[in-house]
Copies of this chain bind each other. A is one copy, B any other.
Amino acid sequence: MSSQFKDLANLYKKNLLQDVIPFWEKYSLDLEHGGYFTCLNREGKVYDTDKFIWLQNRQLWMFSLLYNQVETRENWLKISQLGADFLGKNARDAEGNWYFSLNREGKPLVQPYNIFSDCFAAMAFSEYALALRLAEGETTSGSGSESAKKIALQAYKNVLRRQENPKGQYNKAYPGTRNLKTLAVPMILANLSLEIDWLLKSDHSKAEVLSEDIDSIIDSTIQEIMGEFLDRDTGLVYENVTPEGEHLDCFAGRLINPGHTIEAMWFIMDIAQIRLKTDKETEKQGDREQQNTDNSPIVSEFSKADEDLINLAVDVILNTLEFGWDKQYDGIYYFLDIKGHPPEQLEWNQKLWWVHLETLVALLMGYRLTGREECWQWYQKVHDYTWKHFADPEYGEWWGYCDRRGEVLLNLKGGKWKGCFHLPRALYLCWQQLEMLSSKEKAVS
């Protein structure tokens, strides 16, 4: 098994570093105006030059992460800087809210009609600040890093300020008749808080930004997802619920978004495993202290609550796959109605790259943390489907959109919603999970 893990780890690593990242390095850089092209066809040719802020920030995040976690390649830092400079200069309105899109030259096209541009900005500039700190020297954080931190914190502040009404004046819901909140908000908050934890935990920043502790923000988002969005009867996560956590019988209320659910579950497992590691270290320290005084047995290494949380997340992933898997043509549906009614989304039965890739991350993480055999079985099935239908070894990078039968629907490697993010992040995370599985096995054998 260990060599299988190792082989798979190498497959993901090789695809990331020798196929996907080179594609973006080669085709996506706008050396004239700054920022990145994301609308790339199969061959990497730019077919549209608009700059979508989600994707600009996500690519900045990705290249900064590679620099921070994989290798301090000068070129990855330069590519990060190309995006960061363009974004820092053009992407915010007078109040500091992040636009949805700009034209190639950086002029605003679409207003800041939601908080997700700000979320990805906070993630991106936080990771970029780490990259600059690394480049500038660990000990004395330079002015570039400080300025990136400031941008990240301001964006995070926007998100917290606007989280109760993320769409502001663009919210079309008539107040009071039927209030719904969406999974996307606590989900992104959970992931984001973890991402910028390092930044928030510096006392200076914390005082400036937060009225409550970062750990309580994380706790309450997990509570919201697992206590309100998750339906304990079906074991499925609803995409929209009332502010009180009620599940309503209407189009939005019946919506299940399997990819979103599964991605949220690995965010939650990720938080839980970090807390477990901390617990473990604290306990070990406790043990050491204890061993000094008596010979009582070592206490449990894991906190029960976080173990339960991980197991619950795995349950939800498995339930969602059972519910969301296309038994006729394979693959995971994009949208479903919990009652089996027709969803309002015409694209409901399509197969999307990110849904399948986030599922691979979730299954490997679930398997590594729990050892549950169903995770490994599902992982193999989803792995086979995903690599067969989305990877494009002939031209590099992956297809994004397939129809129900798994046939390519759009001749693109990037567009308005697909950029340099879900695919390379998932390849990186799968590679990491598989490396850990491989070392664990080695350690055991």
Contacts and interface: CB of A to CB of B under 8 A. Distances in A.
Interface string A177-199: 11000000000000000000000
A224 B178 CA distance: 40
B109 A410 contact: no
Interface size class, chain A: 35 or more
A257 interface: no
Interface stretch (A30-38, A125-133, A165-173): A165-173
A54 interface: no
A47 B340 CA distance: 10
Contact of A347 (B48, B178, B346, B412): B346
Contact of A403 (B47, B100, B404): B404
Contacts of A349: 403, 409
A99 B170 CA distance: 15
Contacts of A251: 48, 50, 416
Nearest to A343: B410
A344 B39 CA distance: 10
B409 A178 contact: no
Given A172-B170, A341-B47, A401-B346, A103 B41 contact: no
Interface string A397-438: 000010110000111100110000000000000000000000
B173 A341 contact: no
A50 B341 CA distance: 14
B111 A173 contact: yes
B342 A412 contact: yes
Interface in A370-411: 401, 403-404, 409-411
A103 B409 contact: no
Among A170, A350, A411, find the residue whose CB has the most chain B CB atoms closer than 10 A: A170
A344 B404 CA distance: 18
Interface in A333-387: 339, 341-344, 346-350
A113 interface: yes
Nearest to A337: B47
Given A47-B342, A113-B172, A344-B416, 16 more contacts: A41-B342, A48-B341, A50-B250, A103-B177, A107-B174, A109-B173, A110-B172, A110-B174, A111-B174, A170-B172, A342-B410, A346-B347, A346-B350, A346-B410, A347-B347, A403-B403
Interface of A: 39, 41, 47-48, 50, 99-100, 103, 107-111, 113, 169-170, 172-174, 177-178, 249-251, 339, 341-344, 346-350, 401, 403-404, 409-412, 415-416
What 9 A-B pairs come out closest when comparing CB atoms? A346-B347, A342-B410, A108-B174, A47-B341, A342-B412, A107-B177, A113-B172, A111-B172, A110-B172
27 contacts: A39-B341, A41-B342, A47-B341, A47-B342, A48-B249, A48-B250, A48-B251, A107-B174, A109-B173, A109-B177, A110-B172, A110-B173, A110-B174, A111-B174, A113-B172, A169-B170, A170-B170, A251-B416, A342-B411, A342-B412, A342-B415, A343-B410, A346-B350, A346-B409, A346-B410, A347-B347, A349-B403
